[in-house]
């Protein structure tokens, strides 16, 4: 993350001045550490993740297997059935599948209709903003503000 920041601004300021300012503000990084990070080869986990992410995505969209509906648990079972190895050669771990699916933005299908918490009445007039969006109070008990975010059963019960 810091390496990406330095990459974005090194053309304007240079690596050494950026590292000096970052060190003054608590993010200690030496220029040699930046250059070492740039030349370091990817880790074994990063290399494994690259191949595994491609396999997960291909399996997720495969019409014979995932069909675009498998969640992490079913994907993990499918990969184990297919004999896909993890980083150490053992079967792929479920937490790895969860992490990579989250990174890829893949989610399984969910049953049921989505919960709608608010159905606004387009014809109704809105209540006036009596505080002009200024929610600071001069003293205790001078300003009371409420956030009614979820009403159950048409106003019969309120859930915070």
Q: Which residue has the higher pLDDT, 143 or 12?
A: 12
Strand (E) or helix (H) holding 40: none
26-42: average pLDDT: 94
Per-residue confidence (pLDDT) for residue 152, from 0 to 100: 53
The residues near 152 (Cβ < 8 Å, ≥ 6 apart) are 158, 159
Lowest-confidence segment of 3-12, 66-75, 91-100, 145-154 by average pLDDT: 145-154
Give the rounded percent of residues in the chain with a pLDDT score beyond 90: 61
Answer whether 55's CB lies under 8 Å from 84's CB: yes
Which residue in the block uniquely carries the two structure tokens 């001069």? 138
Mean pLDDT of 40-59: 94
pTM here is 0.60
């Amino acid at each position: 993350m810091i390496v990406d920041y330095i990459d974005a601004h090194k053309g304007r300021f240079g690596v050494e001045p950026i590292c000096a300012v970052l060190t003054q503000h608590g993010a200690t990084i030496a220029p040699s550490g930046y250059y070492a990070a740039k030349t370091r080869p990817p880790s074994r986990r990063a290399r494994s993740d690259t191949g595994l992410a491609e396999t997960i995505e291909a399996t997720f969209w495969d019409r014979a297997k995932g069909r675009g509906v498998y969640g992490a648990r079913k994907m993990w079972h499918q990969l184990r059935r297919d004999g896909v190895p993890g980083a150490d050669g053992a079967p792929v771990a479920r937490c790895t599948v969860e992490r990579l699916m989250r990174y890829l933005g893949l989610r399984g299908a969910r049953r049921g209709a989505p919960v709608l918490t608010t159905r606004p009445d387009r014809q109704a007039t809105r209540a006036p903003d009596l505080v002009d969006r200024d929610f600071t109070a001069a003293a205790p008990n001078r300003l009371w503000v409420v956030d009614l975010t979820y009403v159950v059963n048409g106003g019969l019960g309120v859930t915070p």
